[in-house]
Structure 1
């Protein structure tokens, strides 16, 4: 699980560069999967900050009903904050 969380964080940090649109589709899928896995794993302990944070992240990066912000400058802080969230979870255990 830790490797997946670190990989998601690295993919999110890579997303702040100029990459083709296909990468962002891949990013949405990977981040959503990682977020849902954290939610499912931590929900067993009850609703906590991790469940809420990763639930919101899963909604924002959802590839089935995507959130389009149409401006990369809006996505950069979201990508960085999400990367910090994934790194925090990876090294909190």
Structure 2
């Protein structure tokens, strides 16, 4: 991660913030309360306006865990949606 410019991380933080805020809003609209809380928390954690300062090692771990979580959540949300339509 040392090779990436600071602007890249700022842009990435903004993209994650917008994505998680949007998913939280969609979860709110569909009354999926646990997803509202989870993605709302992630939006706060990654917001680019009031930055939460942690050391690089902690952020690397958080980024890995959240990245895996977001990939898994796509499949879980699709499955939940499919089940609610039936």
Q: TM-score range by the shorter chain?
A: 0.7 to 0.9
What is aligned with 2:73? Answer: 89
For 1:61-80, list aligned pairs within 5 A.
Answer: 61-69=46-54, 71-80=55-64
Counterpart-to-counterpart distance in 2, 1:48 and 1:80: 24
Using the size of structure 2 for normalisation, the TM-score is 0.79
TM-score in terms of structure 1 length = 0.74
Unpaired runs of 5+ residues, structure 1, are 1-16
Higher Cα Rg, which structure: 2
Structure with the larger RCO, 1 or 2 (CA within 8 Å, 6+ apart)? 1
Partner of 1:4: none
CA apart distance, 1:47? 4.8
What is the aligned length?
76
CA distance in 1, matches of 2:58, 2:29: 33
**Runs of 4 or more off by more than 3 Å in structure 1?**
none
RMSD: 1.3
2:29 maps to which residue? 44
